[in-house]
């Protein structure tokens, strides 16, 4: 069973965070299918958490069933009962935004459509989704563009299908998000040269990849095969070259796994929104061996109500250890989510604490 690439949307990090937290407010807003079982569930399902690599997200229940998944007999996703009455409103807004790619999404237009004050609609949406309806619309539009380009459609067709009104608007809005022009993205990032090495670390296999500008990816995992596949996935036409770890690479990896690399502020070649960059720069200021909660990070960057957005920014981090998202935990001290596995997160924090005791 192969997931539809169009369903692997921009909100995977947000959806995964909701899944980890069994967030019943998101019931009906999205569903998740498990490739190894062929079952789809609601976010609040209390079945065993699946491996992230085996999860595919759907914004609508019928899409999950069309892809061949059957309803979970434990959480009965076909009979969604929402814990938060605002969830039904937010679901309707999401479906409306997704169904009108070429329609300007403004608070005034949405408030008229749903008969609510702009303030109430905006607050309800941001409380559950973590961002504004307009930002959600932008992300949906970007995902439609990426899906069209990945399918080989012309830039003009992908632009029109995604709802971008003009070429100038398309290039203005997507330059930083794609990391290149839409035409280059369509071709899979030709001309890019990425060199990478895979080495053993105390936390499993570690892949370190870099362009001529800096480190573009640091991934942790149990399988070299999966690490290589993840590196090729976004830009399949880039020139990707594997190298045997050099002495300098091994030294860098040793610094990373012991929490010392940030003293050098490694050169990074990563794309980020302004908000992500704000969060990631703060994470780099958290000393090894210490942690902060998601709400403390939100307070520190001057966005006290953006706790969920902070969690998404952490989940979107592509350079493990160099940007230490593992040092962010829940308010009650629990680990929270981690892109490379919660047990690995515990091990990294324990290793950093042990290193500090050695000084």
Cβ atoms < 10 Å from Cβ of 57? 23
- 280 and 352 belong to one structural domain: yes
C-beta separation of 155 from 149 below 8 A:
yes
3-state secondary structure 158-181: HHHHHCCCCHHHHHHHHHHHHCCC
User: Residue 199 has which token pair?
Assistant: 């080495």
| Residue 20 maps to a domain | yes
- How many domains, the chain? 4
- 216 and 171 belong to one structural domain: no
Q: What is the DSSP letter of 219?
A: E
Confidence of residue 272 (pLDDT cuts 50, 70, 90): confident
Q: What digits encode the pLDDT tens for the residues 306-348?
A: 888 888 889 889 899 999 999 999 988 888 888 898 899 999 9
> How far apart (Å, rounded) are the C-alpha atoms in residues 124 and 103?
21
Q: What pLDDT is attached to residue 1?
A: 39
- 164 and 206 belong to one structural domain: no
Show which of 232, 248, 264 is a domain's final residue: 248
> How far apart (Å, rounded) are the C-alpha atoms in residues 27 and 286?
34
> How far apart (Å, rounded) are the C-alpha atoms in residues 180 and 184?
6
Cα separations in angstroms, 160 against 10, 77, 99, 123, 238: 19, 34, 14, 31, 26
CATH code where residue 221 lies: 3.30.160.70
3-state secondary structure of 211: coil
Name which of 276, 13, 27 is nearest 128 in CA terms: 27
| Residue 343 maps to a domain | yes
- 107 and 182 belong to one structural domain: yes
DSSP state string for 273-304: -HHHHHHHHHHTTSPTT--EEHHHHHHHTT-T
Q: Please say if 325 is a catalytic residue.
A: yes
- 72 and 11 belong to one structural domain: yes
Per DSSP, the chain holds a count of helices (H) and strands (E) of: 15, 10
CATH code where residue 326 lies: 1.10.10.10
| Residue 172 maps to a domain | yes
Q: What pLDDT is attached to residue 6?
A: 32
Show which of 26, 50, 79 is a domain's final residue: 79
Ranges 54-58, 158-162, 176-180, most confident: 54-58
- 173 and 220 belong to one structural domain: no
- 157 and 111 belong to one structural domain: yes
- 210 and 235 belong to one structural domain: yes
Show which of 133, 168, 186 is a domain's final residue: 186
Q: Which is catalytic among the residues 41, 45, 75, 140?
A: 41
Q: Please say if 41 is a catalytic residue.
A: yes
User: Residue 321 has which token pair?
Assistant: 């250890």
The residue among 323 and 289 whose pLDDT is bigger is 323
| Residue 54 maps to a domain | yes
| Residue 88 maps to a domain | no
Only one residue has tokens 């149990």, namely 222
Q: Which is catalytic among the residues 45, 75, 216, 325?
A: 325
Q: Given a cut of 80, is residue 106 above it in pLDDT?
A: yes
Q: What is the mean pLDDT of residues 148-156?
A: 79
Range of the domain at 155: 99-186
């Amino acid at each position: 069973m192969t997931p539809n690439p169009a369903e692997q949307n921009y909100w995977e990090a947000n959806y995964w965070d909701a899944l980890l937290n069994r967030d019943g407010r998101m019931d009906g807003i999205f569903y998740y299918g498990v490739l190894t079982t062929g079952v789809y569930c609601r976010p609040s399902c209390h079945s065993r958490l699946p491996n992230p690599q085996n999860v595919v997200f759907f914004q609508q229940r019928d899409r999950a069933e069309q892809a061949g998944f059957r309803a979970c007999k434990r959480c009965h996703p076909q009979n969604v009962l929402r814990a938060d009455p605002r969830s039904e409103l937010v679901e309707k807004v999401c479906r409306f935004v997704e169904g009108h790619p070429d329609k300007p999404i403004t608070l005034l237009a949405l408030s008229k459509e749903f008969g609510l004050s702009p303030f109430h609609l905006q607050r309800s949406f941001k409380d559950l989704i973590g961002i504004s309806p307009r930002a959600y619309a932008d992300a949906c539009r970007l995902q439609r563009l990426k899906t069209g380009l990945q399918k080989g459609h012309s830039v003009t067709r992908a632009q029109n299908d995604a709802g971008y009104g003009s070429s100038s608007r398309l290039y203005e809005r997507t330059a930083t998000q794609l990391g290149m022009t839409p035409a280059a993205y369509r071709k899979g990032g030709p001309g890019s040269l990425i060199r990478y090495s895979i080495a053993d670390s105390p936390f499993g296999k570690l892949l370190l990849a870099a362009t001529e500008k800096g480190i573009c990816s640091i991934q942790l995992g149990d399988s070299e095969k999966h690490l290589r596949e993840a590196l090729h996935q976004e830009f399949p036409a880039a020139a990707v070259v594997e190298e045997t770890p050099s002495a300098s690479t091994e030294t860098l990896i040793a610094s990373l796994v012991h929490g010392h690399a940030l003293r050098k502020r490694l050169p990074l070649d990563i794309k980020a929104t302004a908000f992500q960059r704000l969060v990631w720069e703060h994470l780099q200021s958290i000393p090894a061996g210490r942690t902060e909660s998601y709400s403390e990070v939100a307070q520190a960057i001057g966005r006290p109500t953006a706790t969920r957005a902070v969690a998404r920014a952490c989940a979107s981090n592509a350079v493990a250890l160099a940007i230490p998202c593992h040092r962010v935990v829940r308010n009650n001290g629990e680990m929270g989510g981690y892109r490379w596995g919660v047990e690995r997160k515990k091990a990294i924090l324990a290793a950093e604490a042990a290193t500090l005791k050695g000084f």
